[in-house]
Structure 1
Amino acid sequence: MTSNPPIQADYLRLSVAPMMDWTDSHCRVFHRLLAPHARLYSEMVHANAVIHGDRARLLAMDPVEHPVALQLGGSDPALLAQAARIGAERGFDEINLNCGCPSDRVQAGRFGACLMREPVLVAESVAAMIDAVPAHVPVTVKCRLGVDDDHDYDRFAAFIDAIADAGCGMFVVHARNAWLQGLSPKENREVPPLRYDWAYRLKRERPGLVVLVNGGIADADEATAHLEHVDGAMLGRAAYHDPYLLHVLEHRWFGTPLRTRGELLRALRPYVEAQLAGGVYLKHIVRHLLGLFAGQHGGRAFRQVLSEGAHRPGADWRLVEKALSLTEREPRQPLQVAGGAA
């Protein structure tokens, strides 16, 4: 049986989670600018969509994104293998199988978090995917700790072992259970308690596996603390809503010179203008930029200008500069008059 190739350690420490409706190609280009060492992930794409759908749209990728992984959904080994092969042919550096999404649509299709209860099927799928892609493309798994009332570490470890025996050497562990009934996907990212200790124990007991931890990581200190126990930290909503966090971690972990938010944004201009020239609307790009000045002077005005203006016909880089100028103005000071404050 073919085994997964190792991934360079520098591209394991920091990664950005696959997030539906968020981590499209425009988002990933922006994140790559912020964090040159981050490992980026596509939105989840079902194997059937890869095989039969609009690949130009679903598998869109800019060369600057590398290293970037394609996350697949599905539960049919043959279809997953075919989709994995297509993804590798399109240039993705990793193929990741989703075993953690709890949405109703995913449950109806018997994939995502449902697969946590079918380790044999996941192992068969992973083995088929590994055999279908070139030797330099790793096949990895993103999973939960269990589903519903599964609170047995040994069951979780047995799931991991079954897939590892099939040749998978890297696991991204979203350190919560997935509730298949009674919680929305949003609630599933917040309500089930976090148990990072399970991921830590997995790495400690199986040091040969690559283990990344995901779920609830809110700031740079939290992310850094995880590196004492596992190979890497995967950020999700925090990286999207406050993307400068990625740059802070890039600076802290890899020594990349720290740049201002304005410098980073202006470095994106050539990409934005090339996309506009190709017929892309500004709104599709700037929606990923709205959190760049979160918590900063002018941040609310920056977001408002882009949100209200990007959908208008003819919106171009000038709108971005207008929004950016609001963050660069000095905060208004109280008017001083002779004899005291006004």
Structure 2
Amino acid sequence: MFDLTNLSVHFGPATALREASLTIRPGDRLGIVGESGSGKSMLALCLMGMAPEAATLSGTLTIDGRDMAEATERDWQALRARRVAMIFQEPMAALNPLSRVGDTVMDPLRLHLGLSKQAARARALDLFAEVGIPDPAARLRQFPHELSGGQRQRVLIALALACDPDLLIADEPTTALDANVALRITDLLVRLSAERNMALLFISHDLAAVARATSDIAVMYGGDIVERGPTRAVLDSPAHPYTRGLLGARPSATSLPRDANGKRARLPTIPGTVPGMAELPKGCRFAGRCPVELPHCASERPALTKPGPDRSAICHVLSQEVSA
């Protein structure tokens, strides 16, 4: 359905996304992980046709075989909600505080599907029930501030599902939710994806949620997709040094780090910070923070390497290991 080939996003000399390639088919559940500033949300905005006006794009994005390079805003408006929909970060900010949540969900039904107000209300009630909002009739009349964080997130899911999209993009859908609510939201998205044969692009910092929600994963750093493969295989045996560092920094209730005396030690971290878009190395984006860096890593971009079945990564060190 959706095919990205070497898609790049530039802001003058700065690069927010570099030659990203992805294929998304019906029913796929793909996780996107990485630190803040890695390009995850920019990738999602490109799939929605919502890249910032100041951005310059290169490469191709095709939907059902159609190259979207010349698509107008009217073309994208016809696709949004019906073909691709997005759950944006922070539900309190994403919902209009001056509109009842029922009206917010009914608007796209009337605009895109041409439903009457009565039919749109009936559909909104069904959607609220489908996503697990209690007492849907009462909730339709409420404003966002009258709902809990979990209920607001479910309203956003109902809004995204309203026109039965083929691809649902969930951008940090569990942010600011407590652990139990986050777990229920994650399971809800997986269930809806399976029931509707709907592709799910799940963007998150929460590696546990990504492991639970997705079958494949793409790891991003500095605008690059540095590793890609089946979720379980990548999380169990990460190939790229950045992926290994990301997983190594996870806190675990069962395996807290200990020093030589058996006392609790500090959690391992990835040294340094993510550089700004205009300060990223021309070669491997992870150069300068990588524990196994080679002299040419910062200046030469690594080629694509296949560390295992259905897996890929870009890393000079890994390329040497695979060829050896």
TM exceeding 0.5: no
TM-score (norm 1): 0.38
Query: What TM-score, normalized to structure 2?
Result: 0.39
If each structure's helix is expressed as a fraction of its own residues, which one has the higher value? 1
